[in-house]
């Protein structure tokens, strides 16, 4: 799942006569080995920047990689980064959080300035999803829940996932496939729509 660091700039560098893009920051969060790196890699226009390290024997019995345990040899230790360029000089910056609980202290910096988050869920390891859900809820960050269908199989209904994670009705819960550009696009669209609705509601209440 690891890839080589990108040489692309982390910020826009407009030249003379060009229009500086508007940058929107989105966070991709979730438990260990839930598919965050794959999610960003499937839709990023640039080669994603990954900060991954080889897993060691110390992680045995602590980090459960679920269905990808036979293929999971590295883990994100800082963040993943990807970028999507949209019409109208709009850039989406995607930041993936490290999945291991011992790196939770880094999340405050990663989510600062983000319009919201996609929280990926593995239904075989729901307990590992609670920290990400609790984090977003406690800080009032708009988020959608993406149920990552490993091997293209949806094992549980969206209603069951919502109930198991105690997700409020206003939070979208949808199926996704971190390997599919089309599926990740739909998850991001759902998040942007949620964030815009939250913004409009806030503006209306301030009048």
Residue tagged 């940058």 (tokens)? 23
Please indicate, yes or no, if residue 51 is contained in any of the structural domains: yes
Residue 12 has pLDDT above 70, yes or no: no
Indicate the pLDDT class of residue 55, thresholds 50, 70 and 90. very low
| Cα distance between residue 117 and residue 61, in whole Å | 29
Query: Are 184 and 178 in contact, with CB atoms under 8 Å apart?
Result: yes
Please indicate, yes or no, if residue 207 is contained in any of the structural domains: no
Angle CA 53–39–23, to nearest 5: 100
The 10s digit of each residue's pLDDT in 152-176 is 888 999 999 999 999 999 999 999 9
Q: What is the CATH number of the domain that holds 88?
A: 3.40.50.300
Provide the pLDDT for residue 11. 46
Question: Which of 131, 4, 122 has its CA nearest to residue 69?
Answer: 122
Residue 60 has pLDDT above 50, yes or no: no
Please indicate, yes or no, if residue 2 is contained in any of the structural domains: no
The 10s digit of each residue's pLDDT in 70-107 is 554 555 556 899 999 999 999 999 999 987 777 778 89
Please indicate, yes or no, if residue 15 is contained in any of the structural domains: no
Indicate the pLDDT class of residue 8, thresholds 50, 70 and 90. very low
Please indicate, yes or no, if residue 17 is contained in any of the structural domains: no
Please indicate, yes or no, if residue 97 is contained in any of the structural domains: yes
Tokens of residue 181, six digits: 């550009």
Please indicate, yes or no, if residue 14 is contained in any of the structural domains: no
| Cα distance between residue 117 and residue 77, in whole Å | 19
Q: What contacts 179, CB < 8 A, 6 or more positions away? A: 35, 38, 42
Q: How many folded domains does the chain comprise? A: 1
Task: Give percent of the chain above pLDDT 90.
Answer: 63
Please indicate, yes or no, if residue 16 is contained in any of the structural domains: no
Structural domain for 146, as ranges: 22-199
């Amino acid at each position: 799942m690891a890839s080589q660091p990108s040489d692309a700039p982390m910020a826009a560098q407009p030249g003379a006569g060009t229009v500086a893009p508007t940058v929107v920051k989105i966070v991709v969060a979730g438990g260990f080995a839930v598919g965050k790196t794959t999610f960003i890699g499937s839709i990023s226009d640039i080669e994603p920047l990954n900060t991954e390290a080889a897993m060691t024997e110390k992680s045995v019995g602590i980090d459960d990689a679920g269905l990808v345990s036979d293929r999971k040899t590295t883990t994100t230790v800082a963040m993943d980064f990807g970028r999507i360029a949209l019409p109208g000089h709009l850039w989406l910056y995607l930041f993936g959080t490290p999945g291991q609980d011992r790196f939770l202290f880094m999340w405050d910096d990663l989510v600062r300035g983000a319009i919201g988050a996609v929280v990926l869920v593995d239904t075989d390891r729901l307990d590992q999803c609670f920290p990400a859900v609790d984090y977003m809820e406690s800080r009032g960050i708009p988020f959608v829940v993406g149920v990552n269908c490993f091997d293209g199989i949806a094992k549980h209904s969206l209603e069951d996932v919502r109930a198991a994670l105690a997700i409020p009705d206003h939070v979208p819960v949808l199926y996704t496939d971190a390997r599919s550009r089309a599926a990740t696009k739909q998850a991001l669209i759902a998040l942007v729509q949620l964030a815009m609705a939250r913004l409009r509601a806030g503006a209306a209440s301030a009048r």
